[in-house]
Chains A and B, each alone.
Chain A
Amino acid sequence: MAENVNNHGDADRVAEEEIPESYAFISETSEGAQELHEQTETSRYELATEYGSTLRLPEGAGVDPGDIDIEFADEKMIINLGPQHPSTHGVLRVMMELDGEVILRTKPVIGYLHTGMEKTGENLTYLQGPTNVTRMDYLSPFSNELVFSLATEKLLGIEIPDRATWIRMLMAELNRCSSHLMWMATNGMDLGSSSMMIYGFREREMVLSFFEKVTGLRMNHNYIRPGGVAADLPDGWEDDVMSILETIPGRLDEYDELLTGQPIFRERVDNVGIITAEQAIALSATGPILRSTGVAWDLRRDMPYLNYDKVEFDVIVGSIGDCFDRYSVRLNEIRESLRIIAQIVEKMPAGDYKTQDRKVTPPPRVRIDESMEALIHHFKIYTEGFKVPEGEVYVGIESARGEIGCYMVSDGSAKPYRMHIRGPSFVNLQTLPTMLRGGIIADAIASISSVDPVLGEVDR
């Protein structure tokens, strides 16, 4: 059957032979190679649109391909960086066209870690969903679980208890710290500061130990679930959080001394990988990349969710959108997150940590022995899951990398009909050609690092 199908142009005849629908467009399923091609093999139109998009002008107006000058340098070479390269943060493959040491065109080639998580999500119940999505952005798993849970709850139309909301905020902010600390570490490593690598991981470990204490796992927690969180905070959690709050600010000052004021580091990041606000907006970049260009856009402040409107914090912005701005935005965001966490500890109310709606939350173990109804609810939830009303919803929140969104479609059953995650890394990666263009290859490492892509989320 496969040979039949490969006869291009026979799609109609093939379809008549009752071959599964998905085979009907075989002639259109391979559109050519994903790689970056030599300029001689690339049409003028294609080159121009590529340049047009990377050199997108203010207003974002469409650039007429005919108006763009394409300079043909004599000595050009296309090289691969990755997919197996220590500084590409996972299995990112970047193809770069070089003229000597200068980068002309860049194309990120992705998909090496694609595991079909959106498809998997359609086969898991809403209760099992967080187990799946938490593995996407493995450096900030709570954001994934949170956005999935918020989307489900919006479809369900349920309110979650106040304490659960505050616990979610606590975990999300701690996660932002751990994610940015991890970034500080790998960014330091990429730029030749191996001590930063050790320090960053050391501080991150403090936060992860707290996560382990609360959720039982260092990563991939499956802690935030539709209806609330999986378990209440353990006794003495305040002390653990306080020790984090007391230790990390001092360590951040040490980073300042180690990197911020250090000429060798500054040489590597100042004026490297510049992207303007217009370009960032046109390329849909969010998070620290957008803020580094001076656009004060943070969903926590501008479209508040959870209880972010009840805490005080500043949105950190950069000025020119270079690697140093992205570095300082992230460094200072850790400080702001710590500020938020201190307020959360103060405001944490008593109460339930998950909704008492028995259609959504399984009953406690002791109730099962006493009540037939509880037993039925327990059985129903674990065998077929809870049903979610028909509808579609989009929820976007601010993860450590930018806007993570969940577009969820329900057909009224216990599994999402479609579960799409808008991954900030996936979209932010598009800024790379703009950042790298005209720079030298040694700076490419600094720029790739400053985008902070997590390939688990890029490829999903």
Chain B
Amino acid sequence: MSMSEVLHVERSNYLATIADLKSQGFEMCVDVTGVDYLTNMDRPLPDGVIAERFEVVVNLLSLSTKSRQRIRVQVPEDDPTIETLFFLYPGSEAMEREIYDLLGIRFLNHPDLTRILMPEGWEGHPLRKDYAVGAVPVQFKSVNGAG
């Protein structure tokens, strides 16, 4: 198993870095995911990286050089937004929708930022650490506005 490299990127530099990596031969965006570090703010990070509540983690794959690259971006709690990768890697569309749905990180310029796994109209983002498990009543989707 080849070791994947981890790169910490500033949010302002995020899109440019990924575009650069793409031109270096990382043809495929394998995975986009996010983590809510609410209860683990003092996690180990390299010098110069300021820990924020959210992290967006992107996994790129190069088919030509058979290598992986992982990019971690810190996303602050009071402004949980980040640029979309859709225009670089259209395959990131559903994965970004999933993070938006489950973690509430908004992807700017995403063509269709709607909930994907939870029903539309659901309140809150379940994968957040402060989303109480079992404390939220089950919500059902109404049919044609009834109920």
Residues of A whose CB lies within 8 Å of any CB of B are 2, 5, 20-23, 25-26, 28-34, 45-46, 49-50, 52-53, 56, 60, 62, 110-111, 114, 116, 118-119, 123, 150, 154, 281-286, 295, 297, 302-305, 390, 392, 394-396, 403, 405, 407, 409, 411, 417-418, 420, 422, 426-427, 429-430, 459-460
Among candidates A25, A32, A283, A429, residue contacting B104 with C-beta atoms closer than 8 Å: A25
B127 touches A118 (CB 8 A): yes
Among candidates B66, B70, B93, B100, residue contacting A302 with C-beta atoms closer than 8 Å: B66
CA distance A422 to B33 in the complex (A): 9
CA distance A60 to B88 in the complex (A): 7
Residues of B whose CB lies within 8 Å of any CB of A are 1-2, 4, 22, 27-31, 33, 35-40, 43-44, 57, 59, 61, 63, 66, 68, 70, 80, 86-95, 98, 100, 102, 104, 106, 111-128, 130-133
B90 touches A283 (CB 8 A): yes
Among candidates B70, B89, B106, B115, residue contacting A60 with C-beta atoms closer than 8 Å: B89
Query: Taking A26-B123, A394-B4, A407-B57 as contacts, is the C-beta distance between A53 and B93 under 8 angstroms?
Result: yes
A33 touches B94 (CB 8 A): no
CA distance A285 to B117 in the complex (A): 20
The residues of B that contact A22 with a CB separation of less than 8 Å are 104, 124-125, 128, 130-132
Query: Taking A29-B122, A53-B93, A427-B91 as contacts, is the C-beta distance between A417 and B40 under 8 angstroms?
Result: yes
CA distance A150 to B2 in the complex (A): 13
CA distance A7 to B106 in the complex (A): 20
A285 touches B125 (CB 8 A): no
CA distance A30 to B120 in the complex (A): 6
Which label, helix, strand, loop or mixed, suits the secondary structure of the B interface?
loop
**Interface pairs (30), CB distance under 8 Å:** A22-B130, A22-B131, A26-B123, A28-B104, A29-B123, A29-B125, A32-B114, A33-B114, A33-B120, A49-B111, A60-B89, A110-B116, A111-B115, A111-B116, A118-B102, A123-B133, A284-B29, A284-B95, A285-B91, A295-B63, A302-B66, A303-B2, A304-B1, A392-B57, A396-B30, A405-B30, A405-B31, A422-B33, A426-B95, A459-B117
B63 touches A30 (CB 8 A): no
A21 touches B130 (CB 8 A): yes
CA distance A394 to B4 in the complex (A): 8
Give how many A-B residue pairs fall within 8 Å (CB-CB): 165
The residues of B that contact A303 with a CB separation of less than 8 Å are 1-2, 66, 68
Which residue of chain A has the shortest Cβ distance to B95 in the bound complex? Answer: A427
The residues of B that contact A119 with a CB separation of less than 8 Å are 126-127, 133
Query: Taking A297-B63, A303-B1, A420-B33 as contacts, is the C-beta distance between A23 and B91 under 8 angstroms?
Result: no
The residues of A that contact B30 with a CB separation of less than 8 Å are 284, 286, 396, 403, 405, 422
Which residue of chain B has the shortest Cβ distance to A282 in the bound complex? Answer: B90
Which residue of chain B has the shortest Cβ distance to A42 in the bound complex? Answer: B112
Query: Taking A53-B86, A282-B90, A303-B2 as contacts, is the C-beta distance between A20 and B122 under 8 angstroms?
Result: no
A394 touches B59 (CB 8 A): yes
* Residue from A22, A286, A305, A427 with most neighbouring chain B CB atoms (10 Å): A22
Tell me how far the C-beta of A425 lies from the nearest C-beta in chain B, rounded to whole angstroms: 11
CA distance A114 to B98 in the complex (A): 11
The residues of A that contact B27 with a CB separation of less than 8 Å are 60, 281
CA distance A60 to B56 in the complex (A): 22
Which residue of chain A has the shortest Cβ distance to B91 in the bound complex? Answer: A284
CA distance A208 to B104 in the complex (A): 41
Tell me how far the C-beta of A207 lies from the nearest C-beta in chain B, rounded to whole angstroms: 27
Query: Taking A29-B122, A303-B1, A407-B33 as contacts, is the C-beta distance between A56 and B117 under 8 angstroms?
Result: no
Which residue of chain A has the shortest Cβ distance to B135 in the bound complex? Answer: A20
Tell me how far the C-beta of A168 lies from the nearest C-beta in chain B, rounded to whole angstroms: 13
The residues of A that contact B128 with a CB separation of less than 8 Å are 21-22
* Residue from A20, A29, A45, A303 with most neighbouring chain B CB atoms (10 Å): A29
The residues of B that contact A396 with a CB separation of less than 8 Å are 30, 59, 61, 68
